Amino acid sequence: MSTTEKPAASNDGTGVFSPGRARISAKTLRVDNWWVQPTITFIILLSFVIYSTWRAFANADYFSMPYLSPFYSPCLADSCPPGSQDFGSWIGSWYAWSPALIILIFPLGFRMTCYYYRKAYYRSFWMSPPACAVAEPHKKYSGETKFPLILENVHRYFFYAALVFNVVLTWDAIASFRNPQGEWGHAGLGTLFLVGNATLLWLYSLSCHSCRHAVGGRLKHFSNHPVRYKWWTMVSKLNTRHMLFAWLSLFGVAFTDFYIYLVASGAITDPRFF
Amino acid sequence: MAYDASFRVWRGNTNGGELTNYKVSVNEGEVVLDIIHRLQQTQTPDLAVRWNCKAGKCGSCSAEVNGKPALLCMTRMNTFTEDETVTVTPLRTFPVIKDLVTDVSFNYQKAREIPSFTPPEGLKPGEYRMQQVDVERSQEFRKCIECFLCQDVCHVIRDHEDNKPAFSGPRFFIRQAELDMHPLDTASRKRDAQEKHGIGLCNITKCCTEVCPEHIKITDNAIIPMKERVADAKYDPLRWLGAKIRGRQPGDVE
Ligand code: SF4
Ligand code: SF4
Ligand code: FES
Ligand code: FES
């Protein structure tokens, strides 16, 4: 016994509607909630962008001895408050804007060109594709072959820069074992934030695909390079969790900054442990 | 428990077709291919479906179930509720021949465009010596059963017919990665991957990995490493300088 459905009105003759392919009127026949994942990603990434834009331009409440917000570290302008310029003031006095804007291009570029975030924003922002086997809305598609997306290929340089930033932020975590007077051997709740933030950033960068390639992935003969093979094996293990570290470290940076904002603006006082 | 399931199967050929509704009985432990076979036996003797092994190993029964590319023989009926309508269509990236059978010759054409294993000159087959660690990585890619589900789901060609000439697709990126990672291969696969096989069109959105029935980590272990190798050969000024100083080609064997 069979009944028959007539297909709905026809379509535009490209993609899944191209001549020769099975004529099916629906763009996708998926019945699950495929739009949930990209929607969540969209909301979280957009919230982060809004939050970090506000904080980067705010030029206030980013330092409370001994805590320096990761959005402003290293703080390289003359306007950085005393105690926050551990890496010197390279920029000079002419610079009048937020010191975050000098350095943010590096962590921003690192995440923008990250293989995982590329997947995340191509799917959720650009809908290319929104989900698997769900037709994308674009007529033309050139992937990462043309300007500007061909620039994704510079990811490794942002990775090298990220390593430098990790050292700086590790220093910030170490420096947070001081009290507001600058004496060593103390810690507060903010210390936990900064140590957690630095740890997550290391996990995120060491699990990077470019890192995996650089330590050993590019080799043809592992047997000739036993040490690099060992590194590659370790990074490969981390690499399987790269997505997890990408999200955790993003939250880590945002919450660390927010905590320091609360302390620096006087909304809360930092509980001291010792 | 046996029950009558609602099925919606695409029937037609190049001239057109439609989703047709059927009621067909389902027994415990069955897979979608069993139901398609029951349809053939009891209601629609002319229903065309391609299959061979019924064990997820031949890669013949690729189709789309509820809009997702899948092997008919590996999609269990107990993943659906009894009142759910199960929709089965042919692959939607390749030309249809009849009912659930598509013409996947695009893939054979692309396979032919990849130069085969190229050992160093003068080295005879009996003289290959290599260590397990050197071949390990590419062994994952040899699990491929050529079901072409990854090719079917890839939006580069699924949503853009015009990209087909320029793009070989995930199945052939793992083939290139396999050869490029082979310790004895000497062909110039990095530039080829970008210039002849369109790896730059891939935006690593990972649908190929999601559908692969062999669970090959196509994106993480083949495409991204190949993109990094392409960057070595074409887009990294420091590698280029280093290679010039050592009198090599960027991206040469290490
Ligand atoms: S990751 Fe690349 S090759 Fe795989 S489906 Fe997506 S675009 Fe296609
Ligand atoms: S890589 Fe996986 S999905 Fe693609 S053809 Fe091979 S087995 Fe099928
Ligand atoms: S940081 Fe994600 S791949 Fe490099
Ligand atoms: S029939 Fe062989 S894979 Fe399904």
- Dist. CA B98–CA B103, nearest whole Å: 9
Residue B132: closest C-alpha in chain A? A223
Scored b (16 or more CB within 10 A) or e, B50-73 reads: bbeebebebbbbbbbbbbbbbbbb
Mean pLDDT computed over A122-130: 97
pLDDT score of A91: 84
Kindly report the pTM of this predicted structure. 0.95
Verify whether the Cβ–Cβ distance B18 to A7 is below 8 Å. Answer: yes
pLDDT score of B249: 73
The per-residue DSSP string of B138-202 comes to HHGGGG-----HHHHH-HHHHS-GGGGGG---HHHHHHHHHHHTSTT--S-HHHHHHHTT-GGG-
- Dist. CA B159–CA B203, nearest whole Å: 14
Residue A50 has pLDDT above 60, yes or no: yes
Q: How far is the CA of A140 from the centre of ligand 2 (A)?
A: 26
> If you take atom 6 of ligand 2, which residue's CA is the nearest one?
B144
Chain A residues within 8 A of B10 when measuring between CB atoms: 22, 24
Residue A227 has pLDDT above 80, yes or no: yes
- Dist. CA B242–CA B254, nearest whole Å: 13
Tell me phi and psi for residue B106, to 5 degrees.
-45, -45
Residue A8 has pLDDT above 70, yes or no: no
Confidence of residue A90 (pLDDT cuts 50, 70, 90): confident
Residue A158 has pLDDT above 90, yes or no: yes
- Dist. CA A47–CA A32, nearest whole Å: 26
- Å between A253 CA and nearest CA of chain B: 25
* Tokens linked to A241: 């969790």
Residue A9 has pLDDT above 60, yes or no: no
> If you take atom 4 of ligand 3, which residue's CA is the nearest one?
A208
Proportion of chain A in helix, strand, coil states, percent, rounded to 5:
55, 5, 45
* CA neighbor of A69 nearest in space, from A163, A185, A168, A161: A168
All residues at 6 or more sequence positions from A273 whose CB lies less than 8 Å from its CB, including other chains: A186, A187, A188, A189, A191
* CA neighbor of B202 nearest in space, from B147, B235, B158, B142: B158
- For residue B67, give the amino acid letter: G
Displacement of CA B154 from its chain's centroid (Å): 9
- Which uninterrupted H or E stretch holds B23? strand B16-26
pLDDT score of B182: 93
Which of A112, A218, A219, A240 to mutate to probe the B interface, most B CBs <10 Å?
A218
pLDDT score of B203: 97
Q: Give residue A238's region: left, alpha or beta (phi > 0; psi -120 to 50).
A: alpha
pLDDT score of B253: 62
Residue A6 has pLDDT above 50, yes or no: no
- pLDDT per position in chain B (254 positions), as tens? 799 999 999 999 999 999 999 999 999 999 999 999 999 999 999 999 999 999 999 999 999 999 999 999 999 999 999 999 999 999 999 999 999 999 999 999 999 999 999 999 998 888 888 899 999 999 999 999 999 999 999 999 999 999 999 999 999 999 999 999 999 999 989 999 999 999 999 999 999 999 999 999 999 999 999 999 999 999 999 998 988 888 877 666 66
